[in-house]
Amino acid sequence: MLNYLSQTDSEIEAWIKHELERQRHGLEMIPSENFTSLAVMEALGSILTNKYSEGYPGKRYYGGNEFIDEIENLTRERAKKLFGVEHANVQPYSGSPANQAVYFALLNPGDTVLGMELAQGGHLTHGYKLNFSGKYYKAVSYGVDSKTHLLNYEAIREIALKEKPKLIICGATAYPRTIDFAAFRKIADEVKAYLLADISHISGLIIAGVHPSPVPYADVVMTTTHKTLRGPRGAMILVPKVIDRWHEIYHPTSKRNLAELIDAAIIPGLQGGPHNHQTAAIAVALKEAATVEFKTYGQQIVKNAKTLAETLVKKGFTLITSGTDNHLILIDLTTQNITGQQAQVLLDSVGITVNKNLVPYDTRTPLDPSGIRLGTPALTSRGFREEDMLIVGEIIAAVLSNPQNETILAQARQKVKELTDKYPLYPELN
Ligand code: DSN
């Protein structure tokens, strides 16, 4: 696998091998992580990284782009077909720059944006005060209901009516339930706001048909490509309809439609040369995502998450919203006598990787919050099914309930080994 690196840089070779073994022998349960195919990695590690191609297919600032143009066009067409949209920009380096580009395309500094509060499941780029989105725009936020921890669309509507945002962002990083994109559209229409759906976490589930699509409702859709979509790190900005519904109000003098505004925001607005190796790898992932097998994969992610949630509830754990509709679970450890940070370290010690996470209305801090966030996309890529998730749930419950019990921790390590031996990861790599 690392034939050349082994001859030139044994230090980096060694660390990559360590990381491969860590991925192989642990249970990867961070909901935003996944394992790409070797074909995706082959495109990502290709000679395409050598080429500059600022601009877009047919309109580049450098020569020698005839094959890069074919690759980018193919990627765009695959994205358009898979998500059913009129335009796709496949150049964003990752999710945060992609959201930045959407802001840059649609807003002026100081305009009001309404997004989900980071501490209640949103994202840094949805208006967090220390992020560009909270510094250069007037960011207001909505959260979840204090009792049910569900999105309360009437409450969101009231905030929108009061604040009159120009952009509403829906989408989350720690919300275990289905998002009602139609309800967001209604609110956006009432206040004449653009609607951005950030589907980074759930785009693979949408393709698999296990979460509704925002395409009929949103003005712009953004997704990263490396989460449930199982591609390389990267992002895409999708424009369902290029005709701008608020053009006369917000861009009366511009001749550009929504697709052109987005493209101009990426380059020359924010980025230089696209990462062509990344674009090609996204194309490979999109082809994989268009298969029947990928649909089955997405369905299995949700089945696995539901089984895990049920197991944890049976073992007495408190889950935010009592369960899940998607790929992730948020455990509230408040009554468990262990913090999120302690739980993360403890689970790491038996080979289970999760991330500490604030729970809604948390009284603790982001670096040592009351919760942990778990997900099933990566384990499902390995082949895990419901019967395996039941065991995973039992291991997690036993470990978190007995943090000092060395016998139970040793048993947990053994069970993790049995599960990872059952589903070898990247057996082709040496
Ligand atoms: N870092 C991602 C996540 O873990 O959800 C969001 O960008």
Q: Quick one: tokens of 45?
A: 């590690």
Q: How far is the CA of 375 from the centre of ligand 1 (A)?
A: 12
My answer on whether 284 and 318 are in the same domain is no
CATH number at residue 305: 3.90.1150.10
Which structural domain range is residue 313 located in?
Answer: 9-31+292-422
Cα of first residue to Cα of last residue in the chain, in angstroms, is: 6
Q: How far is the CA of 227 from the centre of ligand 1 (A)?
A: 9
Q: Locate the ligand 1 atom nearest the alpha carbon of residue 201 and give its number.
A: 5
Torsion angles phi and psi, residue 141, rounded to 5:
-130, 160
How is residue 230 annotated by DSSP?
A: -
- Domain closes at, from 244, 259, 289: 289
Q: What is the pLDDT of residues 229-263, one digit of tens each?
A: 999 999 999 999 999 999 999 999 999 999 999 99
Residue at 92 is within a domain: yes
Going by C-alpha positions, the residue among 183, 126, 108 that lies closest to residue 150 is 183
Q: Which residues line ligand 1 (CB under 6 A)?
A: 32, 95, 123, 173
Residue at 1 is within a domain: no
Q: How far is the CA of 167 from the centre of ligand 1 (A)?
A: 21
My answer on whether 332 and 394 are in the same domain is yes
- Domain closes at, from 273, 289, 305: 289
My answer on whether 215 and 312 are in the same domain is no
pTM (2 decimals)?
Answer: 0.97
Q: What is the pLDDT of residues 164-204, one digit of tens each?
A: 999 999 999 999 999 999 999 999 999 999 999 999 999 99
Residue at 38 is within a domain: no
My answer on whether 88 and 155 are in the same domain is yes
Which residues participate in catalysis according to the annotation? 52, 54, 198, 224, 227, 233
Residue range 311-318: mean pLDDT, rounded: 98
Residue at 36 is within a domain: no
CATH number at residue 119: 3.40.640.10
Counted domains in the chain: 2
My answer on whether 245 and 375 are in the same domain is no
Rg (CA), the chain: 22
My answer on whether 225 and 296 are in the same domain is no
My answer on whether 65 and 158 are in the same domain is yes
